[in-house]
Amino acid sequence: MDNQHQPEITPGNTDSTEQRIFDAAHELFVLKGLDGAKMQEIADKAGINKALLHYYYRSKEKLYEMVAKAVIGRAVPVIQNLLESDDPLEEKISRFIDFYIDMVSRNPFIPLFVINELNKHPDRFFETILPKELPRPHAFFRQVEAEVAKGNLRPIKPQHLLVNVVSLCIFPFVAKPMIRIVLGLDQQEIKAFLAERKEAVKAFVFQAIRT
Amino acid sequence: MDNQHQPEITPGNTDSTEQRIFDAAHELFVLKGLDGAKMQEIADKAGINKALLHYYYRSKEKLYEMVAKAVIGRAVPVIQNLLESDDPLEEKISRFIDFYIDMVSRNPFIPLFVINELNKHPDRFFETILPKELPRPHAFFRQVEAEVAKGNLRPIKPQHLLVNVVSLCIFPFVAKPMIRIVLGLDQQEIKAFLAERKEAVKAFVFQAIRT
DNA sequence: CCCCGAGTTAACCAAAAAGTTAAACCCGAT
DNA sequence: ATCGGGTTTAACTTTTTGGTTAACTCGGGG
């Protein structure tokens, strides 16, 4: 063991070594970013020798790529389904909000990871990480336009509506520590506050768009 | 020159060396974070020797602290003013949106920087970076509650309203590359889209809260 | 004219971190 | 049993990086 750090192996990890490495890398890359996470740290968390990282994944970059691809690829099909379903619009939006807030409150660091990746390594993102199939919101857009035309919805550009909904869902979880400070909430209170978000966002959005 | 990188000195920088270092560090830390930005890089960008970084600022940490403190300290008083002014509520919200979107469209990386700092180094943040005076939104909250009581506003928790407005202002700029992809916009189109945001957000928010 | 000290530099150092190697270890197939 | 390939490890090398040192420049008193 050339290990001067505390090993703190994640327990209960009975999978293959390759998987353990991947899981450890996933956790640390998402938490600390490419530069922040160290190979030794990942090895420690996976409970294996640093050389194994290179045995299974050739380099830090490659390992990072795998993780990034997995993280991003995971959410895309779900969003796609949500946007393309033929539910009535309000129901679709409601489901969308539920899904997004559930997802992001379980994994609050994922959106930050994606955004950072996209801002800091756009080249790599477009070349190797971006999945071929990315959400096509056209169906959703036409649906909104149809409702606006029918007079069921106040006039709004569907693009702005989509961006608004996503912003309202994601941002508060990403900025959770900031919000905690500004609103002066403790651990419990911020949790309660964020738990109210599903209903708060739905109410806000629907009041904004209903005629 | 122990310089194996391309120097690419930022031109037009006629200020003192100390200032040049600070500016270079500011740019790179905001762009790449503490781990991502390298001292050599900062020195190159400032057009000076690496040793000067340590001459003026003792260590990377100290330099980073200065930058972080400046970045965060800058926005706080303005927000404070906005929230505590005694303008009527709608005007206050309107100004708030204008200010935030102006600010974030000029410096799209600042919010990301603050959020990352807060998520990844909360300890340091609270100990050394957090300014004593942070925005106290109480006046704003009471104002909202008063309007709700008077029936001028639909019932809404003022905390959610504040979070909603900030989310709608900041997130689209932070997630700009993501939005570009999903909406399939080119450079020009995304610029135009974001330019519409001020009006779009105001319309959305006011329709959501007006009775 | 010379000194002095702030400013600046090249060269160096030590620690950290990525990556490599060669040997050992398991374990099923021969 | 043993061979052999996939797996794992300790130890090593290389590269990167933050930090230091000693020398040099240069302009303003004395």
* Structure tokens, A45: 């968390």
* Structure tokens, B157: 């928790």
- The full set of domain ranges for chain B reads 1-57, 76-209
Distance from CA of A146 to the nearest CA of B (A): 19
Q: Which single residue has its CA nearest the C1' atom of nucleotide D10?
A: A1
How many Cβ pairs within 8 Å bridge chains A and B?
133
Confidence of residue B5 (pLDDT cuts 50, 70, 90): very low
Whether the predicted pLDDT of B13 surpasses 50? no
Kindly determine whether the C-beta of residue A136 is less than 7 Å away from any atom of nucleic acid strand C. Answer: no
Q: What is the mean pLDDT of residues B98-106?
A: 94
Rounding to the nearest 10 degrees, give the CA dihedral for residues B80, B82, B85, B89.
-130
B131: Cβ–Cβ under 8 A, 6 or more apart, which residues? Answer: B69, B72, B73, B76
* Structure tokens, B130: 């957090």
Residue A200 near chain B (CB below 8 Å): yes
Closest-approach nucleotide to residue B41, Cα vs C1': D17
Q: Which nucleotides of C are covered by protein (CB under 7 A)?
A: 7-12, 16-22
Same fold, B1-57 and B76-209: no
Calpha distance B172→B155 (Å, rounded): 26
Element (H, E) at A163: helix A158-174
pLDDT per position as a tens digit, B146-190: 999 999 999 999 999 999 999 999 999 999 999 998 999 999 999
Cross-strand bridge partners of residue B210: B153
ipTM of the complex: 0.89
A191 vs B4, more confident = A191
Query: Given this model, what pLDDT does residue A14 score?
Result: 58
Calpha distance B110→B170 (Å, rounded): 10
Calpha distance A71→B53 (Å, rounded): 38
Residue B11 burial (CB < 10 Å; 0-12/13-18/19+)? exposed
* Of B201, B132, B211, the residue nearest A171 (C-alpha): B201
* Whether B178 and A35 lie within 8 Å, measured CB to CB: no
Average pLDDT, chain B: 91
Whether the predicted pLDDT of B203 surpasses 80? yes
Q: Quick check: B105 and B173 in contact, CB under 8 A?
A: yes
Kindly determine whether the C-beta of residue A60 is less than 7 Å away from any atom of nucleic acid strand C. Answer: yes
Q: What percent of chain A has pLDDT over 70?
A: 93
**Distance from chain centroid for Cα A179:** 19
Q: Quick check: A146 and A88 in contact, CB under 8 A?
A: no
Whether the predicted pLDDT of A15 surpasses 50? yes
* Whether A163 and B179 lie within 8 Å, measured CB to CB: yes
Count of CB atoms situated within 10 Å of the CB of B115: 21
Q: What is the mean pLDDT of residues A44-60?
A: 97
Calpha distance A145→A123 (Å, rounded): 34
CATH superfamily label, A1-57? Homeodomain-like (1.10.10.60)
Whether the predicted pLDDT of A48 surpasses 50? yes
Count of CB atoms situated within 10 Å of the CB of B80: 16
Whether the predicted pLDDT of A162 surpasses 60? yes
Q: Quick check: B62 and B23 in contact, CB under 8 A?
A: no
Kindly determine whether the C-beta of residue B52 is less than 7 Å away from any atom of nucleic acid strand C. Answer: yes
Least CB–CB distance from B134: residue in A119, A167, A182: A182
Query: Given this model, what pLDDT does residue B14 score?
Result: 57
Q: What is the CATH number of domain A75-209?
A: 1.10.357.10
A13 vs A54, more confident = A54
Q: Quick check: A63 and A20 in contact, CB under 8 A?
A: no
Task: Name residue B3's amino acid.
Answer: N
* Whether B122 and A172 lie within 8 Å, measured CB to CB: no
Least CB–CB distance from B114: residue in A119, A170, A178: A178
Query: Given this model, what pLDDT does residue A78 score?
Result: 83
Q: What is the CATH number of domain B76-209?
A: 1.10.357.10
Q: Give the residue from A38, A39, A182, A206 with the most B CB atoms within 10 Å of its CB, the best one to mutate.
A: A182
Kindly determine whether the C-beta of residue A3 is less than 7 Å away from any atom of nucleic acid strand C. Answer: no
